[in-house]
């Protein structure tokens, strides 16, 4: 089955331009079998799918699988992709700012899987650019998969991610990380299995079902930016993430008590 394992929707990610319905229609037209919704610290995109599921499935004309995930902003380990079991959902993941080790422990306690998004991408949202990722080999051993192809980073960054997955013998995800319509369909994960739910995906990752991650580099569609603009964006993200991590501390404590 062919999936896009890194998808952002207008309903769930503040920086995304594509609504859930349009995203599904585009992937169906491109021959995909499904997608993993990975909005930033939010399930709102997937919730929109739940509202549209019946009419969208009828319009698709074929089975299409939408899985519920999240891209979580950690305090010290960059962005992490998280998939929880079908019947498990926690508000904890909607409050950014857990440390990397805390997130991994919580996700595993809930029966889910977690892995780094674009581990060699730009700035502080890439695990291997953080002090924790660079210095702590044991952290990689506790992760379940690696996003080894992301259409929004450079070929070199993807090659390094592939090398990381090979070194630790981790299953590989490929995702477009699309925030704009023209990027949809630029990456994929082919899974040798019948994936119909979050539980199926979790089982496939744990059983090491063969997966292929590949796609096209997004340089063909992305805007050219000056280096100084990119650097300012990275600094801005760092301030934004640290600020909201601090503001969410009481929310995280409250949700932790509900687990």
Average pLDDT score over residue span 76-105: 93
Domains in the chain, number: 1
Calpha distance 190→169 (Å, rounded) = 17
Identify the pLDDT of residue 137.
80
Q: Are 17 and 10 in contact (CB under 8 A)?
A: yes
User: For 179-259, where are the E strands, in sequence order?
Assistant: 187-191, 211-215
Q: Strand, coil or helix: what is 140? A: helix
Q: Are 128 and 140 in contact (CB under 8 A)?
A: no
Q: What is the pLDDT of residues 207-219, one digit of tens each?
A: 999 999 999 876 5
Per mean pLDDT, which range of 8-12, 27-31, 160-164, 233-237 is the poorest? Answer: 233-237
Identify the pLDDT of residue 26.
95
Identify the pLDDT of residue 248.
61
Confidence class for position 230, pLDDT limits 50, 70, 90: low
pTM for this predicted structure: 0.86
Average pLDDT score over residue span 21-35: 95
| Burial class of residue 138, CB neighbours in 10 A (0-12, 13-18, 19+) | exposed
Is the pLDDT reported for residue 104 higher than 50? yes
Strand partners for 7? 37, 178
Confidence class for position 206, pLDDT limits 50, 70, 90: very high
Per-chain mean pLDDT for the chain? 87
Is the pLDDT reported for residue 106 higher than 90? yes
Calpha distance 164→143 (Å, rounded) = 12
Q: Are 42 and 94 in contact (CB under 8 A)?
A: yes
Is the pLDDT reported for residue 183 higher than 50? yes
Q: Which two tokens stand for residue 30?
A: 């491109």
Identify the pLDDT of residue 59.
67
Is the pLDDT reported for residue 226 higher than 50? no
Per mean pLDDT, which range of 14-23, 42-51, 117-126, 235-244 is the poorest? Answer: 235-244
What is the span of the domain harbouring residue 144?
2-258
Identify the pLDDT of residue 221.
47
Calpha distance 136→132 (Å, rounded) = 6
CATH number of the domain encompassing residue 154 = 3.20.20.140
Average pLDDT score over residue span 144-165: 96
Confidence class for position 44, pLDDT limits 50, 70, 90: very high
Which residues are CB-neighbours of 207 under 8 A, at least 6 positions away?
A: none
Identify the pLDDT of residue 58.
72
Identify the pLDDT of residue 43.
96
Q: Which two tokens stand for residue 135?
A: 């210095």
| Burial class of residue 81, CB neighbours in 10 A (0-12, 13-18, 19+) | buried
Q: Are 177 and 151 in contact (CB under 8 A)?
A: yes
Calpha distance 4→8 (Å, rounded) = 11
Average pLDDT score over residue span 7-31: 94
Is the pLDDT reported for residue 257 higher than 60? no
Strands 187-191 and 172-175: unpaired
Average pLDDT score over residue span 31-58: 92
Identify the pLDDT of residue 135.
79
């Amino acid at each position: 089955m062919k999936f896009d394992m890194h998808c952002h929707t207008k309903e769930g990610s503040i920086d995304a331009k594509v609504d859930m319905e349009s995203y599904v229609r585009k992937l169906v037209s491109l021959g995909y079998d499904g997608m993993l919704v990975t909005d930033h610290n939010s399930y709102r995109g997937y919730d929109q799918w739940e509202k549209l599921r019946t009419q969208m499935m009828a319009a698709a004309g074929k089975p299409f699988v939408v899985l519920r995930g999240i891209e979580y902003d950690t305090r010290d380990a960059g962005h992490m992709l998280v998939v929880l079991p079908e019947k498990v959902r926690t508000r904890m993941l909607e409050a950014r700012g857990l440390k990397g080790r805390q997130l991994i422990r919580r996700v595993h306690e809930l029966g889910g899987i977690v892995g780094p998004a674009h581990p060699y991408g730009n700035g502080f949202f890439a695990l291997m650019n953080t002090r924790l990722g660079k210095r702590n080999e044991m952290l990689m051993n506790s992760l379940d998969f690696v996003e080894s192809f992301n259409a929004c980073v450079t070929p070199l960054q993807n090659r390094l991610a592939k090398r990381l997955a090979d070194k630790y013998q981790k299953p590989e995800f490929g995702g477009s990380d699309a925030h704009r319509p023209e990027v949809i369909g630029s990456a994929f994960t082919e899974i040798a299995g019948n994936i119909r739910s979050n539980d199926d995906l979790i089982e496939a990752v744990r059983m090491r079902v063969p997966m292929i991650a590949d796609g096209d580099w997004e340089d063909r569609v992305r805007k050219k930016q000056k280096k100084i603009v990119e650097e300012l964006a990275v600094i801005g993200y760092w301030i934004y993430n640290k600020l909201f991590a601090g503001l969410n501390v009481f929310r995280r404590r409250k949700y932790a008590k509900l687990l």
